[in-house]
Amino acid sequence: MMEQSENQTADHGSALTVLYDGACPLCRREIALYRGLAPLQSDSSICFVDVNDTASPLPPQTTREQLLARFHVVAQNGEVLSGALAFLALWAALPGWRWLALMGRVPGAPWVMERAYRFFLRIRPLLQRWALRFERSRPV
């Protein structure tokens, strides 16, 4: 398994950098799932950066507020992808998720996925509250 670092923005040519909200219980769970998977290409790595960590550098021309509002990845070529396109880029790099990335190649699919993601963002605060209650109610 290639090293999957935390809190460092990738400047590596073969790295995909996932920018996530570590304060969000939903995001933490999802990122934990992705971290357990080795990238499909053995010469690639995936870096995970909690955007809440003020010591982490941000991609040029972005703000912490922008990055916390939506899911982002920095592609291997340095392009910052957001929303559905960011998920598709990440899924394409992970075993077990590639089929979703392939679905994203169907004409119109990225548009539908983006609309579904925007709907999720509207209900995200409610889901976060439920997830926090669930976390607090579980014995440690």
Closest by CA to 89, choosing from 40, 51, 25, is 40
Report CA torsion sign: 55, 60, 66, 68.
Answer: negative
Question: Is the pTM here over 0.75, yes or no?
Answer: yes
Confidence (pLDDT) at 114: 97
Torsion angle of alpha carbons 94, 37, 20, 22, nearest 10°? Answer: 160
Q: What is the pLDDT of residue 137?
A: 78
The phi, psi pair for 57, rounded to 5°, reads -70, 145
> Mean per-residue pLDDT for 69-95?
96
- Residue 14: the pLDDT is 56
Average pLDDT, the chain: 87
Instruction: Summarize the confidence of residues 20-49 as an average pLDDT.
Output: 88
Which residues lie closer than 8 Å to 75 by C-beta, 6 or more apart? 16, 81, 89
Q: What is the mean pLDDT of residues 41-58?
A: 88
The domain spans of the chain are 15-137
